Amino acid sequence: NSQTVVNRSFKQLSRPWGACQAGWRSTSSRSVPDVASHHPAEVVSSFPPLQTYTEEEGMMREAVKKYAQERIFPLVSQMDENSQMDKEVIKSLFEQGLMGIEIDPEYGGTGSSFFSSILVIEELAKVDPSVAVLCDIQNTLINTLFVKLGTPAQKEKYLNRLSTDMIGSFCLSEAESGSDAFALKTRAEKHKDYYVINGSKMWISNAEHAGVFLVMANVDLSAGYRGITCFIVDRDTEGLEIGKKENKLGLRASSTCPLNFDNVKVPEKNILGEIGHGYKYAIGMLNEGRIGIAAQMLGLAQGCFDHTVPYTRQRVQFGKRIFDFQGMQHQIAHVATQIEAARLLTYNAARLKEAGRTFIKEACMAKYFSAEVATLTTSKCIEWMGGVGFTKDYPIEKYYRDCKIGTIYEGTTNIQLSTMAKFIDKEYNV
């Protein structure tokens, strides 16, 4: 079966690159049976293709696909129109175990791998990118921060809630600091055993429904970014005000709100990680979150494409299917290639991260490229659908509106490119 092929291939991969740790979760140390005897027809490859999934990953993907199609798809249009995520959808996301994918079962989570999260986000995005981003932020930002940095007490208090019923928000951006994240002005003043937070945040996703906020505030503005600290702020803390949600072009069902902090008292024990290390955590988490967004954009592009091609095969003009016109075929094939390339970049970045190898440049490439592909795909799909693509009766125009944020949030395209350039510069620095 495919799992043994993957296990065997990773054992072989980790030998020449002995310096790297193969942190691959599915690899077991038991001896691998000969695959050929089970599947004589199956080509046994030492290096399986990127689209090779363990049995559990395959099952998860199928389960999420079915769930998304039956429980989310019927509500997508209405959630977009009203700019409101349906409460039942949120509840079912938790029930399905999609909000605590990498959290240990000890804390009520699913106990699966990063790649499973990526597959889940991709499948959700095929149906609704807004739901996918909710799932992405929870899994790749909030949960990861708690799992990596939480004290036993913090984990005890929050991880269980995060896997079962509580959404988290990640608060970094401000009105005056987006790409220039470390210029943030929200400050936290120390008093005895607590801090008082003052300031405001902007563009905070999930804020409407979040029960906990991870707030990046500076404890010592004179120290610059080395004062940035991550604070856990519960929703009902006095002084925390969640502003009216933005009226957005796309991803409308995902709430995006400004936050105001007016003398918000936060106990010292609510610091996540170490004081002054917040900037490191933010960068670290965003490197991983990047791959999640790549998966979202990938799913968006694929979902849009999957809605469009059947139409081109049915629509007849000048006596033949519009799919059969060479001009159309070339465009469709070109877009399909771009989506495939985006998929491979995304999957590879995810596998690299899981294998414990360096992945930052690849993650940037995946996010940048997937967002561009989503933009291209959705734009072309509207054209291929003709007039109906332009109406809200068909889901295509929503994908077109949703894709634009991909080049902007969690690191703009320009930032991704500059980051990649820094790595390239270093690579040639012999």
Partner 1 sequence: MSGRVLVGVKRVIDYAVKIRVKPDNTGVVTDGVKHSMNPFCEIAVEEAVKLKEKKLIKEVVAVSCGPQQSQETIRTALAMGADRGIHVDVSGKDYENLGPLQVSKILAALAKQEDAQLILLGKQAIDDDCNQTGQMTAALLDWPQGTFASEVSLEGDKINLVREIDGGLEHIKINTPAVITADLRLNTPRYATLPNIMKAKKKKIVTVKPADLGVDVTSRLEVLKVEEPPQRQAGRV
108/150 with CB nearer partner 1: 108
CB 271 within 8 A of CB 229: yes
Size of the site for partner 1 (CB under 8 A): 23
Nearest distance, CB of residue 358 and partner 1, angstroms: 28
98/332 with CB nearer partner 1: 98
Site for partner 1 in 93-122 (CB under 8 A): 95-98, 101, 105, 109-112, 116, 120
- Given the rule CB under 8 A, which of 61-69, 172-180, 230-238, 357-365 is the region that contacts partner 1? 61-69
Distance CA 259, CA 201 (A): 5
Q: Which of 21, 28, 38, 88 binds partner 1 (CB under 8 A)?
A: 38
89/352 with CB nearer partner 1: 89
- Print the binding letters for residues 261-290 with partner 1: x by CB under 8 A, - otherwise: ------------------------------
Distance of CA 104 to the CA centre of its chain: 19
Burial 266-276 (b: 16+ CB within 10 A, else e): beeebbbbebb
* 232 near partner 1 (CB under 8 A): no
Nearest distance, CB of residue 209 and partner 1, angstroms: 21
Site for partner 1 in 187-226 (CB under 8 A): none
- Given the rule CB under 8 A, which of 9-17, 89-97, 169-177, 402-410 is the region that contacts partner 1? 89-97
* 53 near partner 1 (CB under 8 A): no
Distance CA 370, CA 365 (A): 8
Residue 253, Cβ density class (10 Å: 0-12 exposed, 13-18 middle, ≥19 buried) = buried
CB 285 within 8 A of CB 275: no
- Given the rule CB under 8 A, which of 52-60, 197-205, 397-405, 419-427 is the region that contacts partner 1? 52-60
Give me the torsion for CA of 271, 283, 179, 299, rounded to 10°.
Answer: -110
- What tokens were used for 58? 């395959």
66/330 with CB nearer partner 1: 66
- What tokens were used for 196? 């008082």
Distance CA 119, CA 123 (A): 6
- Whole-angstrom CA distances from 242 to 64, 118, 210 are 31, 30, 10
Distance CA 86, CA 123 (A): 18
The dihedral built from the CA positions of residue 161, 238, 274 and 206, taken in this order, carries a sign that is positive
105/267 with CB nearer partner 1: 105
Nearest distance, CB of residue 60 and partner 1, angstroms: 6
Distance CA 132, CA 302 (A): 14
- Given the rule CB under 8 A, which of 43-51, 55-63, 225-233, 352-360 is the region that contacts partner 1? 55-63
Nearest distance, CB of residue 139 and partner 1, angstroms: 11
Distance CA 325, CA 323 (A): 6
Nearest distance, CB of residue 58 and partner 1, angstroms: 8
Q: Which of 5, 6, 35, 60 binds partner 1 (CB under 8 A)?
A: 60
* 334 near partner 1 (CB under 8 A): no
Nearest distance, CB of residue 292 and partner 1, angstroms: 16
Distance CA 84, CA 385 (A): 27
Distance CA 140, CA 174 (A): 21
Nearest distance, CB of residue 336 and partner 1, angstroms: 18
- Given the rule CB under 8 A, which of 62-70, 171-179, 240-248, 302-310 is the region that contacts partner 1? 62-70
The residues that are catalytic are: 410
Helix (H) / strand (E) element for 321: namely: strand 320-321
Distance CA 10, CA 320 (A): 49
Binding site for partner 1 (CB under 8 A): 38-39, 55-56, 59-60, 62-64, 66-67, 95-98, 101, 105, 109-112, 116, 120
